[in-house]
């Protein structure tokens, strides 16, 4: 008997952002079953600090309209990896496109699975410092405003449920707990 893993896969849908596969999977107990899996190329997200040396630095948050959330969410800059693009290059590109800022230093924090129960999507999280302003280059479906926010306030927003985006909450908590201060 072989170990757990994919036995076979059938592509049910191929879209611009995601694809849907129906996989036959062997489970750890040897049984076999079908799982629907959303395939995603991965993404990068970045915690941009405007004044990294301050006691309570400003984090450059984005207030962005999200159809799936039926409203606006506070988020850190993020986006999907382009084919052949490294996660670091994606983080730098998304920071520039969404905020107009370029970073002198971009440090990898960690990589997370978003929802491993039904997708293979990973988001690579970064911390950006040494920021200089420039021009944005947003996609036509990106409706956002920049919201510079003290880190202490951003953490309070996580605690109070004002920041509901999981990657943003986790990245802020991680950065505050392990990299800032």
Name the β-bridge partners of 73: 64
Asked if 91 and 82 count as a contact pair (C-beta separation under 8 A), the reply is no
> DSSP string spanning 62-123?
EEEEEGGGTEEEEE--EEEPPTT--HHHHHHHHHHHHH--EEEEEEEEEEEES-TTTB--EE
pLDDT, tens digit, 9 for 90 and up, residues 14-35: 998 899 999 999 999 999 999 9
Name the β-bridge partners of 126: 46, 108
pLDDT, tens digit, 9 for 90 and up, residues 32-66: 999 999 999 999 999 999 999 999 999 999 999 99
pTM beyond 0.85: the answer is: yes
pLDDT, tens digit, 9 for 90 and up, residues 123-143: 999 999 999 998 877 777 778
- Indicate if the alpha-carbon torsion angle 168, 171, 173, 176 is positive or negative: negative
Segment 166-179 shows an average pLDDT of: 96
What is the CATH superfamily name and number for domain 43-178? Nucleoside Triphosphate Pyrophosphohydrolase (3.90.79.10)
All structural domains of the chain with their residue ranges: 5-39, 43-178
């Amino acid at each position: 008997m072989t170990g757990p893993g994919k036995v076979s896969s059938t592509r049910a849908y191929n879209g611009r952002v995601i694809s849907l596969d129906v996989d036959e999977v062997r489970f750890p107990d040897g049984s076999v079953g079908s799982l629907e899996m959303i395939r995603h190329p991965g993404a990068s997200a970045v915690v941009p600090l405007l004044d990294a040396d301050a006691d309570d630095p400003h984090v450059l948050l984005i207030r962005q309209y999200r159809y799936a959330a039926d409203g606006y969410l506070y988020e850190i800059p993020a986006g999907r990896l382009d084919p052949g693009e490294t996660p670091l290059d994606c983080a730098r590109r998304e920071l520039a496109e969404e905020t107009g800022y370029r970073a002198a230093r971009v440090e990898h924090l960690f990589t997370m699975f978003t929802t491993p129960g039904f997708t293979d999507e990973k988001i690579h999280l970064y911390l950006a410092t040494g920021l200089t302003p420039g021009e944005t280059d947003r996609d036509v479906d990106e409706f956002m405003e920049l919201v510079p926010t003290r880190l202490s306030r951003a953490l309070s927003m996580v605690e109070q449920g004002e920041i509901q985006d999981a990657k943003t909450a986790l990245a802020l908590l991680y950065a505050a707990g392990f990299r800032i201060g």
